[in-house]
């Protein structure tokens, strides 16, 4: 089915909004009334048609807006995309994985022509036709990882595997939930997860790392992660904190429905063939409380999850200041009835 791409902004006037279809396919992450960290990874196999799990890399109605927002962020701060010199093979791995996946899954929008190492990439939504020689970065306008991730929704980190560990040695990070690529670049798995509360004590990261070290080609895995953001803003980076941090103080019980957004990350992990590195995709979905309340089950569920969230998680996710307003707004949608397990909208 053809995707109707929207023109919208994730800053300034914030014209971003979800269509009814986009709300319905929103990856609501709460299957029960409370939340705690777990190793919630599962095989990234093809999901139901129309769902965000249908394809390896999800392209939706926000594609043009997100690519433009990434362009603006990179123009202001080119350091949002970095790659250490030993990651060049992994960069080509990522370019090939994304191009072949998009061309296979969205043939109306993307085409990849291959004749030996002579490739032509056609991106119709962005009006790009790029011939290049695979393996020769000089034939592309940018380095391969930056080139293709400027044309893909979601942030990406490439992790190098060595010493029985994973190192964040390359990244394209412009839609992050308050973490910095410049700060984390080159860190090991435990180092860059160090700030996460409670999960270390639960052994979550030990198990996750062991699981990921054995990740095999052709068997990607995924998980959902979440936080909340005020206004539909992709670029909530520490580097730009003065531009968005104070928005947290602007939330009232009256405006919470439009201002407070649930931010869900579809995280995917792929073993890369040439480099034996690992691609970590962080695809961000934003929906306001009012949009979520299209489905009463979701609003009621979120009310209960937020209400029972441990203090450490409230603090870490930066919710403390506006949580009472969000809870008050959501309470009108929660009559206390029992909600069946599951994340479905109805």
CB of 116 to another protein, least distance (A): 12
* Spatial contact of 25 and 51, defined as CB atoms under 8 Å apart: yes
Q: Which among 41-49, 106-114, 242-250, 303-311 is the span making contact with another protein, rule CB under 8 A?
A: 41-49
Cα–Cα distance for residue pair 319/336, rounded to 1 Å:
23
87 vs 98 by CB, closer to another protein: 87
Q: Counting contacts by CB under 8 A, is residue 275 touching another protein?
A: yes
Q: Residue 39 interacts with another protein (CB under 8 A)?
A: yes
The nearer residue to another protein, 41 or 67, going by C-beta atoms, is: 41
Residue among 49, 214, 340, 346 that touches another protein (CB under 8 A): 214
Whether 150 is a known active-site residue: answer: no
Q: Does 83 bind another protein (CB under 8 A)?
A: no
Minimum distance, C-beta of residue 86 to another protein, in the bound complex (Å): 4
**Among residues 160, 235, 265, 291, the one that binds another protein under rule CB under 8 A:** 160
Position 308 contacts another protein (CB under 8 A) = no
Residue 273 engages another protein in binding (rule: CB under 8 A): yes
Q: Measure the CA–CA gap between 167 and 84, rounded to whole angstroms.
A: 11
287, two tokens: 């929906």
Part of the chain binding another protein (CB under 8 A), chosen from 125-133, 216-224, 260-268, 284-292 = 216-224
Give me 181's structure tokens: 């690529």
Partners of residue 156 on adjacent β-strands: 172, 281
**Whose Cβ is closer to another protein: residue 40's or residue 328's?**
40
Nearer to another protein, 224 or 330 (CB): 224
Q: Which of 223, 233, 321, 323 is catalytic?
A: 223
Q: How far is the CB of 194 from another protein (least distance, A)?
A: 20
Residue 47 found at the interface with another protein (CB under 8 A)? no
Instruction: Specify the stretch interacting with another protein by CB under 8 A; choose among 6-14, 18-26, 35-43, 303-311.
Output: 35-43
Question: What residues between 219 and 238 interact with another protein by CB under 8 A?
Answer: 219, 221
| CB 271, CB 325: distance < 8 Å | no
206 binding another protein? (CB under 8 A): yes
The contact pattern for another protein, residues 116-135, with x = CB under 8 A and - = no contact, is --------------------
Residues at the contact surface with another protein, assessed by CB under 8 A? 38-43, 86-87, 89, 160-163, 206-208, 210-211, 214, 216-219, 221, 273-276
The residues assigned a catalytic role are 223
């Amino acid at each position: 089915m053809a995707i109707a791409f929207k023109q919208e902004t994730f800053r300034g006037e914030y014209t971003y909004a979800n269509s009814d279809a986009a709300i319905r396919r929103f990856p609501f992450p709460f299957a029960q009334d409370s939340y705690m960290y777990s190793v919630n990874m599962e095989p990234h196999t093809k999901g139901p048609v129309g769902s965000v799990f249908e394809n390896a890399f999800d392209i939706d109605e926000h594609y043009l807006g997100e690519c433009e927002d990434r362009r603006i962020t990179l123009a202001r701060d080119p350091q949002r995309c970095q790659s250490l010199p030993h990651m060049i093979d992994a960069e080509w791995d990522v370019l090939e994985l994304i191009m072949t996946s998009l061309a296979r899954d969205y043939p109306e929008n993307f085409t990849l022509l291959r004749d030996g190492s002579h490739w032509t990439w056609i991106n119709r939504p962005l009006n790009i036709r790029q011939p290049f020689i695979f393996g020769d970065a000089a034939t592309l306008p940018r380095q391969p990882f930056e080139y293709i991730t400027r044309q893909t929704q979601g942030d990406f980190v490439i992790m190098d595997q060595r010493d029985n560990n994973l190192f964040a040695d390359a990244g394209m990070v412009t839609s992050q939930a308050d973490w910095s690529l410049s700060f984390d670049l080159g860190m090991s798995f435990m180092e860059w997860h160090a700030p996460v509360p409670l999960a270390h004590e639960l052994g979550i990261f030990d198990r996750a790392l062991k699981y990921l070290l054995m990740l095999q080609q052709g068997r990607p895995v995924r998980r959902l992660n979440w936080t909340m953001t005020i206004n539909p803003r992709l670029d909530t980076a520490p580097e730009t904190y003065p531009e968005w941090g104070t928005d947290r103080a602007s939330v009232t019980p009256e405006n919470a429905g439009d201002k407070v957004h649930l931010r869900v990350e579809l995280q995917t992990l792929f073993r890369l063939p040439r480099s034996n590195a690992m691609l970590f995709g962080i695809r961000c979905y934003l929906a306001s409380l009012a949009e979520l309340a299209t489905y009463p089950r979701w609003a009621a569920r979120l009310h209960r999850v937020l209400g029972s969230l441990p203090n450490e998680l409230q603090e870490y996710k930066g919710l403390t200041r506006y949580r009472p307003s969000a809870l008050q707004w959501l309470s009108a949608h929660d009559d206390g009835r029992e909600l069946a397990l599951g994340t479905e909208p109805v």
